Amino acid sequence: MSGTSITGEATEETLPAVVAGAHAAGAARRSQNRKPRTPIWAVVVLAVSVVYFLLPLYATAVFGFSTGKAFTLQPLFDGLGDDGFHSALILSLTYSIVTTVLALVVVAPTAYLVELRFPRLRATVEFLTILPFVIPPIILAVGLSSVYGINSPVNLISSDWAPVLLYGGYFVLTLPFVFRAIDNALRAVDVRTLSEAAESLGANPTRTFLQVIVPSISLGLVSGALLAFTTAMGEFTLAALLGYPTFPVYLLNVNEYSPHVGKALVLVSFLITWAGVIALAAVARRTPGTRVVRGGPM
Amino acid sequence: MSRLELVNVCKSFGDQPAVSDFNLTVENGELVSFLGPSGCGKTTTLRITAGFEAPDSGAVIVDGIDVTDLTPNKRGMGMVFQGYALFPNMTAAENVEFGLAVRKRAPAERRARVAELLELFGLSHVAGSYPHHMSGGQQQRVALARAVAIEPGVLLLDEPLSAVDAKVREELRTEIRRMVTQLGITTILVTHDQSEALSISDRVVVMNRGAIEEVGTPGQIYAEPRSAFTAGFIGAMNEIPVRVVSGAQGVVERAGRRVTVQGAAGLADGEPALLLVRPELIEPLNAANGTLNGDLTLTGRVEVQTFLGATTRLLVREVRQGDENQSVLPSARRLAVDVPSAAAGNWPAGSEVAVRIPVGSSRVIADRSAVSPAPSTGPAAPPA
């Protein structure tokens, strides 16, 4: 299962890399203002982190863009030209997009209602959304295949409804990220007063939610979407065990019969994820009105 | 413009009664303030009126129609919140337009109305700004314009000025009064600031512990408070313990002197009572006004001078002449006396002063507390 770690890396690396980048940017800004001496341990930690995160990428690139010793882009072209690559990528994209939309559509109104009407249920809901962290995906996969498998009276797995199984599974896996992102955003704005203001102006709850609350928590929705998308895009265990040839599953297979092509495609998937992160971050930065309205300075 | 009635409204949170048996009628175009300390139930009453809280019992009636069971969005009341509650994702103009869009007004009509309101509130130059780029005063004006835009039957203002600084607060106060008069909207203003309530209201409802303590015009509330709570809460008030000699004739006794006062009619003979005297009504004695005219007099020493602007407040400790029965003030009390600041130099701290307490224009109320509360000589100044 050596390929598992490779497919996993493509997404898992993004978050620490972002954090490291942010630290570096922060340090640069600070040095412009006050020019304090950078402590030596900070430089060491930064150097070790950079090496730790970039070395595997470099190794993957060296291996992926060569067939023996010489540099060549041939494995990349081979990989991109493969029909299996296209279908796996499209399948993964479809599952990721549907999962993301599903997660936002279910979680955002739920979190809003909990915040507004049932604040006492908050602890319970929070606990429920954390469960996927505690229960490993493998258990989820085994559970799903025994409840909805071939021997079950509710045999979803060999019916037309089979995709529902993976949508459901992915939804559960993204729940902790999406709920947390949206709930944080909701708590940063005064949801109750904003809702009351909209209501006093005649808006019904649906309109209030869509026109006032959703734009006010757009940043949370974007980061929730981002986390849901990358989680679904890089998920391996559920897809492999339930028999879906998603992109990570395809990568594992390719890696086994043509390792150079596999590594080249890993880099491609890494770039796709990064492009997604940057695009969403850019969207989030342009969203107006993400600040909390309170008594400002006169 | 509507007539609002609150009938026997009661509300408890758990065992804690928040509003008990609240009855009030607000007439067309009237501006009524709910005034009281925090936790007195004024905001809860306002939220019940708006529909954000359901009363345990009682009714909210607008123009004769019971709206108690209507949701807030169907009541057609405008509301301004303490923290403004502007929609952060919308510009000033969009905020004002929101209620009109909900009501499905034609776009041209909406634009005209928004422009008119922004003009009325002096906001035209920030029409395209987002709330976080506006000052507190501007945000509050947008909140007012937004609430007024829907032509509400009743306008509810929940401590609308508490988040802006003192100078802007006075400006906005005047503006609210002008707007209510101009547009003729029935308005309820919740505030804990007595000068705010007195300066802009047609009537003031003084609340304490979930119940109405007193309702009256600002003049009545200030000059003729009917309870010690109101007297103490509104402005500064000297409370002098007296004993009722004859309630029917309005005669009370203190320091061996019998004086005739107002408001004693309902009091039983022999009962303890409180004589309420505003600091600005008490005059230092001099040769010109040295006659007693049936008033109480007191000789004492100035302990503290407090500069209040046009007037300066002297806190006077009585210099005893004989035993406790012969003194006007109980030993722990100080008398607050307001003198023109220009003349305050005549009575520096430590100097002796004789003052005349004009009982004829002061009121007496029943002393409900067995042990009388300390005199209210807080920093609150009389309304400008």
Give residue B3's pLDDT.
92
The helix-helix angle for B92-102 and B136-149 (nearest 10°) equals 20
Greater model confidence, A282 or A87:
A87
A115 pLDDT higher than 50? yes
Would an 8 Å CB–CB cutoff place B163 in contact with chain A? yes
CATH architecture of B236-366: Beta Barrel (2.40)
A33 pLDDT higher than 70? no
A286, closest residue in chain B (CA to CA): B89
* Separation of alpha carbons A289 and B120, rounded Å: 25
Residue A14 neighbours by CB under 8 Å, 6+ apart:
A230, A273, A274, A277
B71–A291 C-beta distance less than 8 A: no
A34 pLDDT higher than 70? no
Tracing tokens 């010109």 back to the chain, one arrives at B288
Q: Which of A81-95, A267-281, B266-280 has the lowest mean pLDDT?
A: A267-281
A21 pLDDT higher than 50? no
Beta carbons of B205 and B23 less than 8 angstroms apart: no
- Closest residue to B73, CB basis, from A194, A202, A296: A202
A17 pLDDT higher than 70? no
Distances (CA, A) of B266 to A17, B11, B225, B227: 81, 32, 15, 13
Give residue B88's pLDDT.
92
Greater model confidence, A93 or A151:
A93
Chain B hits for A198, CB-CB cut-off 8 Å, are 87, 98
Report DSSP state, residue B132: G
Alpha helix (H) ranges present in chain B?
A: 42-50, 92-102, 107-120, 136-149, 166-183, 194-200, 218-223, 228-233
- Closest residue to B89, CB basis, from A202, A204, A289: A289
A202–B103 C-beta distance less than 8 A: yes
Mean pLDDT calculated for residue range A227-232: 89
Give residue A292's pLDDT.
35
A35 pLDDT higher than 70? no
Beta carbons of B335 and B238 less than 8 angstroms apart: yes
Which numeric CATH code is attached to A2-286? 1.10.3720.10
Query: CA-based diameter of chain B, in Å?
Result: 82
Give residue B328's pLDDT.
76
pLDDT digits (tens, 9 = 90+) for A122-170: 999 999 999 988 888 889 888 888 888 878 788 877 788 888 888 989 9
What is the DSSP annotation of A87-149? HHHHHHHHHHHHHHHHHHHHHHHHHHHHHHT-GGGHHHHHHHHHHHHHS-HHHHHHHHHHHHS
B73, closest residue in chain A (CA to CA): A202
Task: For residue A61, give the nearest of A202, A214, A215, A268 by alpha carbon.
Answer: A268
Task: For residue B75, give the nearest of B89, B61, B87, B86 by alpha carbon.
Answer: B61
**Using only C-alpha atoms, what is the Rg of chain A?**
22
Greater model confidence, B59 or A286:
B59
B72–A291 C-beta distance less than 8 A: no
Query: Where do the structural domains in chain B lie, given as residue ranges?
Result: 4-223, 236-366
Average pLDDT, chain A: 81
pLDDT tens, position by position, for chain B (384 residues)? 789 999 999 999 988 889 999 999 999 999 999 999 888 999 999 999 999 999 999 999 999 999 999 999 999 899 999 888 999 999 999 999 999 999 999 999 999 999 999 998 899 999 999 999 999 889 999 999 999 999 999 999 999 888 788 888 888 898 899 888 888 999 999 998 888 899 899 999 999 998 999 999 999 988 888 888 888 888 788 888 888 888 888 888 887 778 888 777 778 888 888 888 888 888 888 655 555 556 778 888 898 889 988 899 999 988 876 666 667 777 778 889 999 998 888 888 888 888 888 877 778 888 766 444 444 444 444 443
Give residue B116's pLDDT.
93
Which uninterrupted H or E stretch holds A173?
helix A162-188
Chain A hits for B158, CB-CB cut-off 8 Å, are none
- Closest residue to B81, CB basis, from A193, A216, A297: A193
Chain A hits for B84, CB-CB cut-off 8 Å, are 293-295
Confidence of residue A5 (pLDDT cuts 50, 70, 90): very low
Query: What is the interface pTM, i.e. ipTM, of the complex?
Result: 0.78
Mean pLDDT calculated for residue range A270-287: 76
Which uninterrupted H or E stretch holds A233?
helix A218-234
User: Which residues numbered 33-52 in B keep a CB inside 8 Å of some CB on A?
Assistant: 50, 52
Preferred mutation among B73, B97, B135, B159 to probe A, highest tally of A CBs within 10 A: B73
* Separation of alpha carbons B180 and A62, rounded Å: 76
CA distance B89 to chain A (A): 4
* Separation of alpha carbons B354 and A189, rounded Å: 59
Mean pLDDT calculated for residue range A263-270: 86
Per-residue burial over A268-287, b = 16 or more CB atoms within 10 Å of its CB, e = otherwise: bbbebbeebbeebeeebeee
Class of domain B4-223: alpha beta
* Separation of alpha carbons B33 and B204, rounded Å: 5
Per-residue burial over A206-230, b = 16 or more CB atoms within 10 Å of its CB, e = otherwise: ebbbebbbbbbbbbbbbbbbbbbbb
Greater model confidence, A180 or A290:
A180
Regarding pTM above 0.90, the answer is: no
Other beta carbons within 10 Å of B106: 9
